[in-house]
Amino acid sequence: MNRHDQPNRGRLRLRLLAAAGAAALTLTAGLATPLNPAPQQAQAKGSQQATESKKEGKKVLTVAVAQSVDSLSPFLASRLLSTSIHRLMYEYLTNYDPADNHTVPGLATKWEPSADKLTWTYTIRSNSKWSDGQQATAQDAAWTFNKMMTDQGAATANGSFVTNFRKVTAPSPTQLVIELKKPQATMGALDVPIVPQHIWEKVKDFSKFNNDQSFPIVGNGPFVLTAYKADSYVRLKPNKTFWRGAPKFDELVFKYFKDQDAAVAALRKGEVSFVAGSPALTPAQAASLKGEPNIKVNDAPGRRFYALATNPGAQAKDGKHFGDGAESLLNQKVRQALFMAIDRKTLIDKVFQGHAVEGAGYIPPRFSTYHWKPSASQELAYDPAKAAQLLDAAGYKKNADGKRVEKNGKPIDYRILCHATDPNDKAVGQYVKEWFGKLGIGVTLNCLDNVTDPWLAGKYDLAFDGWSVNPDPDFVLSIHTCGALPATPKDTGATDNFICDKKYDELYDQQLAEYDTAKRADLVKQMESRLYDTGYMNVMAYPNAVEAYRTDQIKSIETMPKAAGNIYGQDGYWSWWSAVPADASGASSDGSSSTGVIIGIVAGVVALVGVGAFFAMRRRATAEDRE
Amino acid sequence: MTTTESDGPMTTEATPQVATVGPRTLAWQRRRHSAVRFWRQYRTHRAGVFGLAALSLFALIALTAPLTVGSDVQSVTGAPGGPMESPSARFPLGTDQFGRNLLGLVVWGARVSLLVGLLAAVLSVAIGALIGITAGHFRGWYATVIMRITDWFLVMPTLVLAIALMTVMSRSIGTIILAIGVTTWPTTARLVRAQTLAVESRPYIERAKALGGGHWHIMSRHVLPNVMPLVLAQTTLIISSAILAEATLAFLGLGDPTVVSWGGLLQDAREAGAVSAGKWWYLVPPGVAIAVVALAFTLCGRAVESVLNPKLGVTR
Amino acid sequence: MTAEATPSLVEATDGPAQAGPSVRGPRARTTTAYLRYVAGKLGGAAVSLLAVLVTSFFLFRLIPGDPVKYMTGGRQVSAGQLAHYREEFGLDLPLWQQFTDYCGKALTGDLGTSYQFRAPVIDKISEALPNTLLLTGTAFVLYTALGIFLGTRSAWRAGGTSDRLNTGLALTLYSIPSFWLGLLLIIVFSVGMGPIPGLFPTGGMESGGKEGFAYVLDVAHHLILPVVTLVAVEYGQTLLVTRSALLDEMGSDYLTTARAKGLRDDLVRRRHAVPNALLPTVTLIFINLGRTVAGVILVETVFSWPGLGGLFYQALSVPDLPLVQGLFFVFASAVIVMNTLADLIYPLLDPRVGR
C-alpha cells in the first residue's frame, strides 16, 4: 500500500499546482494541457501505425456510443460497450450464428458432453494465434476458467459461469475438459473471453487491474485494441491473421458521446459512420434521419423486453419477508386487473411511435425458438371495464372519493420505481398513472438515478424492468427462481424481482438438464406461460434496436439475425468484422475540409485579442506620455 | 427607511398591548408615506418598471392558467395532436413528444417555475435573515461558530451541493425548493449580519436596552424592520437565480417527471431528441420564458435595491 | 450599487471587503505583519480544506445505495464474493474506522478507489482535470477580458446608449440558462439550420487520430462552442462589477480633488479611477475562477466535454462514493484556493494602502 502512496502524493501536489496555475492559463498555453502523459503515449503508438496507412487512404469505421468503458479487463467489465469490445479483442469458446443464433465454433471447434452429462470436452482450434505471435491453446482457456474459480477478484464479471464447475483441465493444447457438479445445458454458451495466460499470469490483483497499461493489447479476436482514452475513444486495428479472415476496415473507433443528440448530429455531418442508440434512437431522431441522403436507419426487432414488474412480497431464502410492497398486489386477480388496465398498443403507437413490438410472453419474438405468446383465452388484453370488475370482485372497491382502498381502509397508491435516465420509463409512467387513475388507483412515479437500493430492499410496489435476452435464455429465466432469492434479507441475490413460484422452478430445473433443444424449448415456453399467468411480469413491449449508419462510409454490414437484425450489441463480432467500406468517395471522418474553417476562426480570435491588447496598451502609453 | 426608530420607546416589553392608538396610527401613516415615496422613486427606473410589468403579466398568466388552459393540458392519454408537430393555427407553438399543446404546457409550467422560484427564494432569505440577525445580535462564540458555518457554505459549490442533496432525497417539488433554499442562504446571512451590526451600533438600541428591551424585542422590533429593505431586495434577486436553479436541476433530470415545469420541458425536449431532429420550437419557448422571468426579477431587484438603499453594495 | 446585481456578486465583494480593514493596518506597519496575515489566511484555508474533507465524507454517506449491491447488481454473486468486495473497499468496517482510514489516506494524497472504474480516484480526476481547466481557463480569460473592457467603456459613458445596450445585453445573457444557450448553439451551428451549415463539432474534445498542430487545431475547433456559451453567460457579471466599481470610484472625494487640481478628466480616470475600481473586479475574477470549475458541469454535459463535471454526474448516479467525495473535494478546494489567493493579493493591490 505504502509503495503506491508515494507517486500518488506527488501527483496530487502536481494537480494542486496545476489548479493554482490555472489563473495564468492562456488560450495558447491551455491548448497543450489536455494531453495526458499516459494516454498520449498509448495514442502515439497507435497513431504511428495510423500514419503509415494514412497514405493509402485509410478506411476508418467510427462508431458513436453513449456509454463509457468501465474497464478493459474482461474479468471486471460489465457494461455492454466493454463486453462488446472484448468480443472483438478475444475469441470465446463458441459463438452464435448470425443467421439464427445457433451455436457455432469459436476458439473451440467441437464440444461434447459425456454420457453422464457431467463432463464436457472441447476441441480447441490450432489456427488461432495471439497478436504477439504465440499460439492460443487449451491451456489458456483452462487457466482463464481456473483463475475465475479461485480468485474472487477475477470472478467479478463472469463468476456466474463457473459456479457449477468442479474442475477444468487441459490434457493437451487442443483439448479442454470441464467437469460439472450438475448437468448444465448451457455449456455451448459460455460467454467468457479467453485471455492469454503468458500475459495475464503476471497480473497481481485482478480486482484492480484494468488492462489499460500497455498497448496494443494482446488478443486473438478479429481486432486488436491499439489505443484507449477514458471517456473519449477506443481504437482498434484489424487482426490480419484472424482465423476467420481479417476485417475489411483499416481501423475501428468507438467514440464516446455523452449526448445522443450530439452523436446524431455527428452522423449527419459524417464525423461518425454509425450511431448506436442508448438503448435506441428516439422516434424523433429516427424520423429526422430517415429523410437524409446517404444515411440508413436500421430499425430492427430488439433483444430486450420492457416490463412492469410487481413486488410479489419480497422475501429471502430463509423465509423472512421484508420490504413494503402493497398488500393488494399479493392478490393474483389484482395483478391481472393491472395487466388489463394497460393499453400496450397505445404505448407502442405513442411512446415508441412504432419502434417496438407489442409485448406478450417473456422472451422477445426475435428468439423464435423460445418465444411464446398467450392464446386468445389466456391473454389479458386491454379492457378497463373488466379490470374494474376484477378489482371489485377481489374486494378492492372504490370509496366515496372514487379511490380504491386496501383491506386496511387506506386508498391504494402504488409507487412505481423508474429509472430517471430512461425517457421511456418516464413517458410510460405518465400513461400508466392516468390509466390507473381512471380505475381509482393512485400512482406515484419514483424516478431515481439509482433504483438498485429500494429495489433490492423490496421497497416498491411496481417497477419498470427490462433485460437484454441472450440467445440462450437461461440467465433471464434463472432470475425468477426461488434459488435466486437472497439468502437473508441482508444479502443480495441474483433475483430480479423476488418471484418464487414452485411450478416455475420445477420447469426451470427440467430445462436446465435437458440437452435436447426442441424439448428444452417446450419447457421454456411452459415457464413463460406460467410466469404470464402469475401476473408478476407485465411485458409491455419489445423495443426495437433503432440505429443508423452512413451508406457512403459503410457499404454493407451484417445484421443479426441476418434478416432484419441489429448491428450494435450483437452476440458476436459479426457486424464490425463483416463491415465493408464504401468506395473512395466516403469515409470523410478526417474532416480535412473543416481545417480551413478552424484556422480562420483561430486566426480571427488571435487577431481580436491582439487588437484589443494593442489598443489597451496604446491608451495606457498615451496616458503615461501625457503626464 | 428608519421610521421604526420612533417605535422603540412606545412598545417596551411591558406594554405592547396597551399602546395607545395614536402613535400606532402615526407609524402606519409614516409607513404609507414611505411606500408612496418608494413607488415614486421606483417609477423613475425604467428597467424596473419593465421588469415589474413582465412579472405582472407572467403572474397573471400563471394564476389564470386553470381557466385558460386547464389542468387537462398535462394529460398524455388525452393529448390532442401528433408527436412534435410544428407550429400551426391549432397549436401556435407546436406539440410535444406526446402530442400535447406546447403553448398550454408553457403556460401551465409557469405555475411550477414561479412557485418554486418564489418559495425557494423565501426559504433561502428566511434562513439567511434568521442567521444573519442572530449572528449580528448575539456576538460571542455563537456568532463565531455560525459565521464559520456560513463561510463554509459560501465556499461550497452551490450547484454541486444542490445536486448532491437532490440525490439524497426523493424527487419532488418540495425537494427542489429545499435544495435551492439551503444552498443559497449564506450570501443573505452575511449581508444581513453586516446590516444588523450597523443598526445595533446606533444609540437608540442602547436606549431600548436600558429601558428593558429583551433580545427578542430588539431583534424583532428594531433590527428586523431595518434589515427588511435589504431582505426584500435580496429576495427579488434570489428568485431570479432560484428560477434558473430549478430549470437547471430539472434539466439534469433531478425533477419530478410528472410535473410540468419549464426546466422539465427542456429536459423532455432534449431526451426526445428534439435537438438533433432540429425541432427548435420545442426548445425555444420554455427557454425564453425562463430567461424573461429571470431577467424581470433581476431588473426589479436592482430597481428596488437602488431605491431603498442607494449606498448598498458600495464597498464598505 | 450594481455590484449587487446578482446574488453571487454580493459574495464576491463581501469577502475581501471584510478582509480589507484587517489588512490595511498591518500592511501599513510592516512586512512581518503582512506575513502574519498571510499565515493566518493560509491557516484558515487549511482549516476550510479539512472541513470540506470531513463533510464530504459524511454528506455522501447519506446517499441511499449500497455500492457493493450496485457493483454486483444483476449478477449472481456468492456471499463470499460480497464479503470480498466489502473488505476490498473497507465497507465492512464501522463508520468511524472508515472515516479515520479515509482521512489518513487523504492526507497522503490517496482519495480511494473508484467503485465503477476500479481505478484510483486521483487518476480519474487527473485525467479529467486538464480538460476542464482547458475549457474553463480559455473561457475565463476571454470573459474576464471582455467583461473588464466593456465594463470600463460602459462606466465612461454611463447613461449613454452604448452603456444601456451593454448593460441590458449583459443582464439578459446572464438570465439565460447556460445549457439552453448551448443547445441552441448546437442546433444552429453544429446541426446547421437553414443557410447556416454545421460549422462546429457537436461535442467531445477531439476527433481522435490527429497529432501535432492538427491535433491542437482539432481541439480548438471543439472548444469554440462551449467556450462561447460560457463566455456569453459569464461576462456580464464582470462587466457589471467593473462598471459599478468604476462609477463609485468616480464619485469619490479624492477624484474631485484631483480634478480640482486641474488634472484632465480622462487622465484622472485612467491613473486613479480604473486601478482602484479594478479591486473588486480582481476579487471577483479569482472567485469566479474557483466557481467556474464547478459551474461548468452543465456546459460539459451539453457538449459531452470529458471533464470533471461529466465525471461528477456519472459518479453520483452510482453512487461511486470515493469518486464523488474526491470530486466534491476538488470543486470546493478550487473555490477555497482561489478565495485565499484573492485575500492574499488584495492588500498588495490596494492603492489606498499607505495613503
Tens of pLDDT, residue by residue over C2-25, are: 333 333 333 333 333 333 333 344
Domain assignment present for residue C61? The answer is no
Q: What is the pLDDT along chain B (316 residues), one digit of tens a residue?
A: 333 333 434 444 444 444 456 777 887 888 788 888 888 888 888 888 988 999 999 999 989 888 888 778 888 888 788 888 888 888 888 888 888 888 999 999 898 889 999 999 999 999 999 999 898 888 788 888 888 888 878 777 778 788 877 777 777 888 889 988 888 888 888 888 888 888 888 888 888 888 887 888 888 888 888 888 788 888 888 888 888 888 888 888 788 888 888 988 988 888 888 887 778 888 889 999 999 999 999 888 888 878 876 554 332 2
Q: Does B120 touch chain C (CB under 8 A)?
A: no
Contact B240 C6 (CB under 8 A): yes
Cβ partners under 8 Å of residue A201, min gap 6: A143
For the CA atoms of chain A, what is the radius of gyration? 28
Shortest Cα–Cα distance, B276 to chain C (Å): 7
Are the C-beta atoms of residues B277 and B94 closer than 8 Å to each other?
Answer: no
Q: Does C79 touch chain B (CB under 8 A)?
A: no
Among A283, A420, A430, the residue with its CB nearest the CB of B253 is A420
Report the distance separating Cα C99 and Cα B295, nearest Å.
45
Specify burial of residue C261 (Cβ count, 10 A radius: 0-12, 13-18, 19+).
exposed
Do the strands A251-256 and A233-238 form a parallel or antiparallel pair, or are they unpaired? Answer: antiparallel
Which CATH number characterizes residue C255's domain? 1.10.3720.10
**Helix (H), strand (E) at residue A530:** helix A517-534
pLDDT score of A249? 92
Report the distance separating Cα A396 and Cα A63, nearest Å.
52
Do the strands A462-468 and A537-543 form a parallel or antiparallel pair, or are they unpaired? Answer: unpaired
- B60-96 pLDDT, tens digit per residue, is 998 988 888 877 888 888 878 888 888 888 888 888 8
Contact C301 A259 (CB under 8 A): yes
Q: Show which of residues 30-89 on chain B sit within 8 Å of chain C, judged by CB atoms.
A: 47
Q: Does B152 touch chain C (CB under 8 A)?
A: yes
pLDDT score of A137? 93
- What is the DSSP annotation of B44-85? T-HHHHHHHHHHHHHHHHHHHHHHHT-GGGG-STT--S-TTP
Grid cell at residue A601: 476562426
**DSSP for residue A534:** H
Interface test with B, best of C18, C56, C183 (most B CBs within 10 A): C183
- A413-465 pLDDT, tens digit per residue, is 999 998 887 888 888 999 999 999 999 999 998 888 777 778 888 889 999 98
pLDDT score of A198? 93
Report the distance separating Cα C353 and Cα C355, nearest Å.
5
C268 phi and psi, to 5 degrees?
-60, -45
Contact A256 C304 (CB under 8 A): yes
**Helix (H), strand (E) at residue B260:** none
Report the distance separating Cα A492 and Cα A448, nearest Å.
20
Domain assignment present for residue B79? The answer is no
Closest C-alpha among A178, A94, A194, A180 to residue A144: A194
Q: Show which of residues 574-613 on chain A sit within 8 Å of chain C, judged by CB atoms.
A: 589-591, 594-595, 597-599, 601-602, 609, 612
pLDDT at C353 over 50: no
- What is the DSSP annotation of A555-578? EE---BSSSS-BSTT-SSSHHHHH
Highest mean pLDDT among A210-214, A411-415, C59-63, C232-236: A411-415
Taking contacts as CB-CB distances below 8 angstroms, the residues of chain B near A431 are: 76-77
Contact C126 A15 (CB under 8 A): yes
Shortest Cα–Cα distance, A413 to chain B (Å): 15
Report the distance separating Cα A189 and Cα A192, nearest Å.
9
Contact B278 A431 (CB under 8 A): no
The class of domain A304-543 in CATH terms is alpha beta
Contact A253 C208 (CB under 8 A): yes
Taking contacts as CB-CB distances below 8 angstroms, the residues of chain C near B248 are: 177, 179, 298
Domain assignment present for residue C308? The answer is yes
For residue A386, how many other CB atoms are within 10 A of its CB?
Answer: 15
pLDDT score of C29? 54
Grid cell at residue C127: 485525467
Among B152, B159, B241, the residue with its CB nearest the CB of C297 is B159
> Does pTM surpass 0.90?
no
Domain assignment present for residue C244? The answer is yes
Q: Show which of residues 3-42 on chain C sit within 8 Å of chain B, judged by CB atoms.
A: 3-8, 10-11, 13-15, 17, 20
Provide the domain limits for residue C274.
121-349
Taking contacts as CB-CB distances below 8 angstroms, the residues of chain B near A285 are: 273, 276-277
For residue C266, the chain A residue with the least C-alpha distance is A623
Neighboring chains of B (3 or more beta-carbon pairs < 8 A): A, C
For residue A419, the chain B residue with the least C-alpha distance is B253
For residue A278, the chain B residue with the least C-alpha distance is B271
Considering the domain delimited by A60-301+546-581, tell me its CATH architecture: 3-Layer(aba) Sandwich (3.40)
Report the distance separating Cα C231 and Cα C243, nearest Å.
18
Only one residue has cell 501527483, namely A11
Q: Show which of residues 428-457 on chain A sit within 8 Å of chain B, judged by CB atoms.
A: 429-431, 433-435, 445-449
Report the distance separating Cα C138 and Cα C148, nearest Å.
16
In Å, how far are A603, B123, B166, B250 from B178, measured between CA atoms? Answer: 48, 8, 9, 14
Among A33, A160, A599, the residue with its CB nearest the CB of C130 is A33
Q: Does A66 touch chain C (CB under 8 A)?
A: no
Domain assignment present for residue C265? The answer is yes
Do the strands A60-65 and A94-96 form a parallel or antiparallel pair, or are they unpaired? Answer: unpaired
Interface test with A, best of C61, C134, C135 (most A CBs within 10 A): C134
Beta bridge partners of A466: A306
User: Fold identical between A60-301+546-581 and A304-543?
Assistant: no
Are the C-beta atoms of residues A152 and C81 closer than 8 Å to each other?
Answer: yes
**DSSP for residue A582:** P
Are the C-beta atoms of residues C68 and C89 closer than 8 Å to each other?
Answer: yes
Q: Show which of residues 103-142 on chain C sit within 8 Å of chain B, judged by CB atoms.
A: none
Neighboring chains of C (3 or more beta-carbon pairs < 8 A): A, B
Interface test with C, best of A273, A598, A605, A608 (most C CBs within 10 A): A598
Taking contacts as CB-CB distances below 8 angstroms, the residues of chain B near A421 are: 253
Domain assignment present for residue B276? The answer is yes
Domain assignment present for residue B188? The answer is yes
Contact A285 B276 (CB under 8 A): yes
Flag whether the ipTM exceeds 0.85: no
pLDDT score of A565? 86
Cβ partners under 8 Å of residue C23, min gap 6: C37, C346, C347, C350, C353
Q: What is the mean pLDDT of each run of 10 residues along chain A (627 residues)?
A: 36 37 35 36 39 59 87 86 92 89 90 91 93 93 93 82 91 93 88 93 87 90 91 90 92 86 83 84 88 88 90 88 89 91 92 90 89 90 92 89 87 89 87 92 85 83 88 87 84 82 92 89 93 92 92 89 84 90 57 47 59 52 41
Which CATH number characterizes residue B263's domain? 1.10.3720.10
Q: Show which of residues 327-386 on chain A sit within 8 Å of chain C, judged by CB atoms.
A: none
Domain assignment present for residue C286? The answer is yes
Q: Show which of residues 212-241 on chain B sit within 8 Å of chain C, judged by CB atoms.
A: 233-234, 237-238, 240-241
- Grouping H, G, I as helix, E, B as strand and the rest as coil, residue B165 is helix
Report the distance separating Cα A434 and Cα B77, nearest Å.
7
- Grouping H, G, I as helix, E, B as strand and the rest as coil, residue C55 is helix
In percent, the amount of chain C with pLDDT more than 70 equals: 77
Among C172, C187, C295, the residue with its CB nearest the CB of B275 is C187
Neighboring chains of A (3 or more beta-carbon pairs < 8 A): B, C
Structurally, how many domains does chain B consist of? Answer: 1
Q: Does C87 touch chain B (CB under 8 A)?
A: no
For residue A423, the chain B residue with the least C-alpha distance is B271
Contact A36 C130 (CB under 8 A): yes
Report the distance separating Cα B250 and Cα B256, nearest Å.
8
Closest C-alpha among C291, C246, C288 to residue C268: C246
Taking contacts as CB-CB distances below 8 angstroms, the residues of chain A near C191 are: 265, 268
- Helices A384-393 and A332-341: angle between axes, nearest 10 degrees: 160
pLDDT score of A475? 85
Structurally, how many domains does chain C consist of? Answer: 1
Contact C5 B184 (CB under 8 A): no
Q: What is the dihedral of CA A270, A272, A276, A278, to 10 degrees?
A: -100
Q: Where are the domains of chain A?
A: 60-301+546-581, 304-543
pLDDT at C122 over 80: yes
Only one residue has cell 459425456, namely A114
Only one residue has cell 451600533, namely B201
